[in-house]
Structure 1
């Protein structure tokens, strides 16, 4: 009898690794075909796992979809959040927020397709809606804190919460419009619109305009 030299057919992974693989498979399906491609068969084929693992790790396909949303939002906020610079009262935190929002690593065709699929499900999916609420509130707090610290360092008084709400809505809308048809709105035009909005409350932020002192006329 000839002994097979092939390795084991299936690899053993930890529970955490399997769950992460399913999330990545789900995101790949969303990027490739939107929500209609987010099926158990497609996801399991992408991850090379059995159908039962989705229920085992996430309870249901909706549970996996919520995990995909959480992963996308966490990746987004880790890339664009103002971070420590804003806590020191520096404008660099808000500059990073604007610049990272439209950086290719965050803004690309795959991420656009994934976000469109996820946003379209929020209204009808309670699990997804709960994840969105928690992540949005955390990001809103971070943006408002950056606005507050920048305003304070410049001796300005602003309603940081309202500015943060409006900024997120503006950047989301520009992000979507630029992604749908970049011939109508360039990446740089979207970026400059975000700076223009923030500068109307805080003075110059755009690195191209920082030659003007706070309170002066932006270029």
Structure 2
């Protein structure tokens, strides 16, 4: 009688890979929280370690330098913005005006319009101009946003049968959102999220009057 064949051992590689990814993401999020609290200059490796509650050696194991960790943090921040405002909302079969209203609502919704989250963006502003890598990521994000918003304004113009410069409209709306975010971060009592969203909606409507 043949003895039963031993069951093949399951590879631990997926579990190891998952653990590495989870740890990297945890460190990236800690870096983002540190930037929100202390700004870029104040976000030392020690501060990030304290935020993540890990040793310096773990950060050195997963990232070659503080700059690499910061770049990854900014990349994740950009991806979150894109997911919340564009990739999740835009659909070819949706009315373009509803698409734009959804983006505005999301920009001032609870997932994005919160002090800590906006503080991360503000913290990055001081270093983007000095970092070629971050500058490139910022340029790519802005270019993608302008193109996406411009496409929506083109569709709205075609629907209403009105003439409008869609690129300038896109730049104007993005700049308005950015400005409202910054002003609210500096003084959260200045206006509410609903008022900010309404101001953007009114801006869009005035473009077509």
TM bracket, shorter-chain basis: 0.7 to 0.9
Q: Secondary structure at the match of 1:151?
A: helix
- The structure with more helix, counted as a fraction of residues: 2
**DSSP-derived class of the 1:91 partner:** helix
Task: Summarize the alignment of residues 117-196 of structure 1 with structure 2, pairs less than 5 Å apart.
Answer: 117-196=123-202
Aligned length: 193
Report what 2:27 is aligned to: 22
Measure how far apart 1:170 and its partner are: 1.1
Asked if residue 78 in structure 1 is aligned to residue 74 in structure 2, the reply is no
Alignment of 1:45-56 (within 5 A): 45-56=50-61
Matched, 1:111 2:132: no
The residue that corresponds to 2:39 in the other structure is 34
Q: 1:2-22: per-residue Cα shift (whole Å, max 9, x none)?
A: xxxxxxxxx996332222121
Q: Structure 1 residue 173: deviation in Å?
A: 0.5
> How far is the alpha carbon of 1:132 from its aligned partner?
0.8
Cα displacement (A) at 1:123: 1.2
Change (3 A) 1:156 1:54: farther
- Cα deviation for residue 87 of structure 1 reads 5.5
Q: Distance in 2 between matches of 1:93 and 1:63?
A: 35
Deviations 1:160-216 (Å, cap 9, x if unpaired)? 11111111111100121122113333333322221121112246xxxxxxxxxxxxx
Cα shift at 1:146: 1.4
- Residues 36-90 of structure 1 deviation map (CA, whole Å, 9 limit, x = unaligned): 4421122233334443454554432112111111111211221122733466443
Gap change, CA 1:179 and 1:15, over 3 Å in 2: same
Pair 1:59–1:157, CA change in 2 (3 A): farther
Hey, what does 1:61 align to over in structure 2?
Answer: 66
**Normalised TM-score (structure 1):** 0.77
Runs of 5+ consecutive residues of structure 2 not aligned to the other structure: 1-15
Greater relative CO, 1 or 2 (CA 8 Å, sep 6+): 2
What is the TM-score when the length of structure 2 is the normalising length?
0.80
- Which stretch has the larger CA shift, 78-87 or 173-182? 78-87
RMSD over equivalenced CA pairs, Å? 2.4
Instruction: Give the C-alpha shift of residue 159 in structure 1.
Output: 1.6
Alpha-carbon displacement from aligned partner over 1:113-142 (angstroms, at most 9, x marks no partner):
211111111111222111111111112211
1:141-162 deviation line (CA, Å, top 9, x unaligned): 1111111122222222322111
